[in-house]
Structure 1
Amino acid sequence: MKSRATPGVINRNGPDFEVSSYLASPCLPEEDDVLEFWKSNEATYPTLAKIASTYLAFPASSAAVERIFSIAGKIFRPERCSLSDKLFKDLMFVRCNENIQH
């Protein structure tokens, strides 16, 4: 049987504590390097640092963009040239995000 933490008490090793601690810390000046902040604070905020490195890092190649153009080419073929902008956008969204797991 799983034990539960007392309601209202934040586990000091969990993500809730990380988020609370991060939100309570002072904001970085705009000129500071955000990636450097996460690199130097990885021990303090391990979960948030991992998320930041995933979403703030620049892709090393143009492969992702080329993949999107390839998907667009498969959706917007000559026989489907009457697709509305909204339908095309919706189909692109679904195809580009079909591998995301939750």
Structure 2
Amino acid sequence: MDSKYTPISRRTISEKRIPELVRKVKETVLKKLETRSSVSLTTDLWSDRRLRSFLGVTAHVCSESKDFYAIESYLLECRRFTDTLLSEVENIIDSEGATDSGAMNVDSSSDSPPVKSPRLLSRYKAHKKRNSAQDSSVVTQISKYFDAINDSDTDNALFFWAKNHDRFQQLHKLALKVLSVPASSAPVERIFSRGGIIMRPHRACLGHRMLQTLIFLKCNQTLL
């Protein structure tokens, strides 16, 4: 070893380098999720050797490419919690911007004229009229889809839709939603199996903040 080399201190790693990596990974995950039309969220609970409870929230998406589709999973957050489960899940989702919310502006000024309310069934009739022309094409696509899967030489749904997404454009949107849902709990359980490896007996004094940070980086190491 070169005598001029100065090792990085533990304080520099824990207070500077690791937070930089966490920020970088979170930005990458959010950019990937913003480009996806459908995202599925799963949760899991785990207790470490010191009986501290941790909550993990994982996002699953169907990644599209020209010739192949793949299911990708990203850990959004691993967090110690002491509050109710529902409130913790909602806080994580809100902090990651994974909600699809709409906004309405209301002008409460007294000078504004009252808004005319539409008739009760007018919206329904307009929706029915707009979709009536699409019904026949959807039925036709469904019929052709069943014929295609019977004649297909593969049982891999990801390969089938990568090959036929232009052929069934309307069904393709629904397929992306369905394929983003994981078929098993393995991606979620894998989070805390890695946490158990990190939290070995000689690391039993590891603080919960550093532990959840290391789990987050380990599960998203492909983005580093």
Q: Do the structures match in fold with TM over 0.5?
A: no
Q: TM-score, normalised by structure 1?
A: 0.43
Q: Name the structure with the higher strand share.
A: 2
Structure with a larger share of its residues in helix: 1
TM-score, length of structure 2 as denominator length = 0.21
Higher relative contact order (CA 8 A, sep 6+): 2
